[in-house]
Amino acid sequence: MDVRLRRIAEQDSSRALAWRNSPEVAAFMYGDHWITQPEHDRWFSSVLQAEDRRYWIIERDGAPVGLANVVKIDTSNRRCDWAYYLADPTTRGQGVGSCVEYLVIQHVFGPLGLNKLWCEVFDDNEAVWKLHERFGFVREALYRDHVIKGGRFRDVIGLGLLARDWAAARPACEARLRDKGFVLEALRVD
């Protein structure tokens, strides 16, 4: 299986809107409302133009299956936030998320030269926060009643990964990916 992150482009706009409004993705986003076309257009325009963020379409074997991003790139403090989703439910459990995790981490600590990668995950999204922890992320925060989702308060876990954490975790992570049959040299960020 080939996994690639390619820079998001204008032709991805309608697909991104459909993904963002799909129940499979919306369940894990902070907002509950239906994203309108004008709202999406404003967001998408900022995605294409901003200097402090990168958005990629996740492709598996050439087919678009999700979106990954790093945002709030702060070169002064050498940190950024990140998130991703697999919009195609058939890709879950096949190692695509692990490949995305690896690619984004490598990009943040390699070409971007940052020191910290940060993310937030709903506390009941155990599969994702455990995946982050397997890649060396450390739980740094618990934000209680942080988001109202579905009419109820939800707790959010904050996780951080430092460049030195990644240096220690990387060999085991690469071994796990190889054991799953991935060729690391074939994984790429465009």
Q: Give the chain's domains with CATH numbers.
A: 3-189 (3.40.630.30)
Q: Would the pTM count as exceeding 0.85?
A: yes
Residue 96 — φ and ψ, nearest 5°?
Answer: -65, -45
Cβ–Cβ under 8 Å, residues 95 and 1? yes
Cβ–Cβ under 8 Å, residues 66 and 100? yes
Amino acid identity of 51? Answer: E
CA-atom Rg of the chain in angstroms? 16
Residue 22 — φ and ψ, nearest 5°?
Answer: -75, 145
Write out pLDDT tens, residues 144-184: 999 999 999 999 999 999 999 999 999 999 999 999 999 99
Amino acid identity of 34? Answer: W
- Note the Cα 40 to chain centre separation in Å: 19
pLDDT the model gives residue 90: 86
Residue 101 — φ and ψ, nearest 5°?
Answer: -55, -50
Confidence of residue 51 (pLDDT cuts 50, 70, 90): confident
Write out pLDDT tens, residues 9-29: 999 999 999 999 999 999 999
